[in-house]
Amino acid sequence: MYEKLFSRGRIGNLELKSRIVMPPMGTGMAALNGEASDRIIRYYEERAKAGCGLICTEVTCVDEDWGCAGFYQLHASSMRYAQSLKKLADAVHKYDTKIFLQLHHPGREINSIYQGKGQIVAPSAIPCPVCREMPHELTTAECEGLVNKFVAAAKVAKLAGMDGVELHAAHGYLINQFLSPHTNKRTDKYGGDFFGRMRFIDEIVINIRTQLPGFPVSVRFSADEFLPDGITIEEGVKIARHLESIGVVSLNVSCGTYETGNTIVEPYFRKEMWKKNLAASVKAAVKIPVIAVNTVKYPATAEKLLEEGVCDFVALGRAQLADPEWAKKAKEGNEHLIRKCMGCMFCFKAALSGMPIICNANPLLGLEEIYNEDTLKKDGDGRVIAVIGGGPAGMQAAQVMARRGYRPIIFEKGSELGGQMNIAKLPENKEMLGELVKTLVAQTEDLGIEVRLNTEATIEDIKALNPAGVIVAAGSKPFKLPVPGADRENVCLASDVLLGNVKLENKNIIVVGAGVTGIETAETLALQGNKVTIIEMSANVGEPLYPSLKVYYGKRLAELGVEIKTMTRLFEICDNKIVVRNSATAFRAEIPCDAVVFANGVRSDKAIAEACYANFDKVICVGDVSNPGLIGEALRDANSKAWVF
């Protein structure tokens, strides 16, 4: 199965065990001093063990004065980092996986708070519209000094036993800034025409090849910046040919800059293979291997890209965050057990906050050193564990308990597993959330876990099992705000709309709440031909969405004619209007409407939990009944508590 994906391939003088590449992704898991921590080593090791052919590390700092991308990133700016990097390389090499150290400098796409010498730098004094900070324009001598720093970092990589280096010339970072006419307005030898803009990377590549003969140099670059005056695909092909001519061993094709960020790290409205034309255009123009990202979720998609000749190696980034065993499961024909990336962007939201990356599908991401087969107690001895609720938290907890040797039994009062996820998956573009539901169910079945559907657990039912413990994972439900008129016939819940239990067409509708549920419900109602107004008592819209998703929904709702009123608190619901008050001034106003839809999330219902506490010695609550939140929070809560239960 997937013969091309798991065939051996070559990059330069290296033979790779598969066509799967893990591209660089910032993790925030390196030590504060820039060394490879045990945590980050275990993270990479898990992906190597599963069958990844080549790992390109996260962005690695070459310049501590002006080139730091964060407080917790890898460094290769001096030989003192070689020993910890060697531990990383050795851990990956155990599994016949190759590893490239990605050499990086952010240039203008960062803030000075991270830099040793304060002000950020760039080829030209043009601020990044996202970071909004004026960079110092590098002098010719400073450019030459930075070339030497990249070369010095490559020497550290070789000493550490890395198999090669990848130069980060994509996504609007420093090398990309030299390549692009959008950011390079220089008039010295590092600017001007095409060859002037290429000179900075030319000098880095040629010096590494001269000083480290035979040491592979790969380049990741943006084949299209999607900017009017930036690199186009035609220019990208020209860059690719030029890089091949100076001895680069492979090209890792990406796209975009911070200004066009949702083309780099795609939210869920971007579908698989949407940008395959970029890699295909580059591959048609060069003879060296082409690696490419293409928002791949499924093994069949990766195989198709190879069959069609779009690329030589498939880069799977967030796919391997969501499931470190993506490659192993694909090779064994167990793709139905792969937890697939949902494009929710919470990994990058965490990274932006300065915290280690997290994943809403994979509760173990970044915690591989803590939660692994070596630390999992196998102490169940077939004893029964009653699990009340078959949502994501219930299934995750049951799976951990089954792996520990217990016999979990899930009680689910509904007709299917999934809980609130069966509602959350219904709005437009949320099909990958539905895939997570399928995978959780498949994993539950694969472990042989008993599930009792259409069964609301009672204390008597649980006592009959004589359980070793009880896990409560049920006890949350959508709610209406307690305001006058909330019980009127023209009032319903967002879940009623999304499930199709309430039909609203050609109506003037108020949606209460501008969180994720409110936005998605408003979109659904607008698509059904309704005039929709969202009211939100705070100043925030779309919390806790990633910025690119907030921008997307802002444009989307505007296109659908949805009006959003923030700082607006619902006070009363009447026959054909609502009464609201400004959250800051208490100013009263009336808004005409035909119907009101509450989209205020869920609240815990602890009745069953309290009953269990009163009747059983060992009880834990996980997920929404413990603390209503995101799917990822429920999975992490269930995993950690079940691990030590």
> Is-contact 530 508, C-beta < 8 A?
yes
Residues contacting residue 191 through CB under 8 Å, at least 6 positions apart:
123, 124, 178, 184, 185, 197
Q: Amino acid identity of 8?
A: R
Structure tokens at 477: 């439900």
> Is-contact 319 307, C-beta < 8 A?
no
Give alpha helix (H) positions in 297-430: 299-307, 318-322, 326-331, 346-352, 392-403, 421-424
Residue 181: which of 202, 201, 203, 196 has the closest Cα? 196
Other beta carbons less than 10 A from residue 413's beta carbon: 14
Residues contacting residue 509 through CB under 8 Å, at least 6 positions apart:
525, 530, 531, 532, 533, 593, 594, 595, 596, 597
Burial class (CB in 10 A: 0-12, 13-18, 19+), 579: middle
> Is-contact 253 279, C-beta < 8 A?
yes
83-65-173-11 Cα dihedral, nearest 10 degrees: -20
What gap in Å lies between CA 76 and CA 101, rounded to an integer? Answer: 9
What gap in Å lies between CA 307 and CA 611, rounded to an integer? Answer: 58
Q: Amino acid identity of 98?
A: K
Structure tokens at 29: 């898991």
Structure tokens at 358: 């997290």
Sign of the four-CA dihedral 14, 16, 21, 26: negative
Residue 167: which of 180, 151, 182 has the closest Cα? 151
Q: Rg of the chain over CA atoms, in angstroms?
A: 27
DSSP string of 428-461, one letter each residue = TT-HHHHHHHHHHHHHHHHTT-EEETT----HHH
230-232-235-237 Cα dihedral, nearest 10 degrees: 140
Angstrom CA distances, 255 to 173, 456, 494, stand at: 12, 51, 37
C-alpha angle 535/536/540, rounded to 5°? 135
Q: Report the relative pairing of strands 384-388 and 469-472 from DSSP bridges.
A: parallel
Residue 487: which of 589, 602, 588, 598 has the closest Cα? 598
Structure tokens at 90: 């050795």
Q: Among 43, 81, 114, 173, which one carries the catalytic annotation? A: 173
C-alpha angle 307/309/313, rounded to 5°? 90
Q: Amino acid identity of 195?
A: F
Sign of the four-CA dihedral 470, 623, 325, 48: negative
What gap in Å lies between CA 84 and CA 7, rounded to an integer? Answer: 31
Q: What is the DSSP letter of 336?
A: G
173 is catalytic: yes
Q: Annotated catalytic sites, by residue?
A: 173
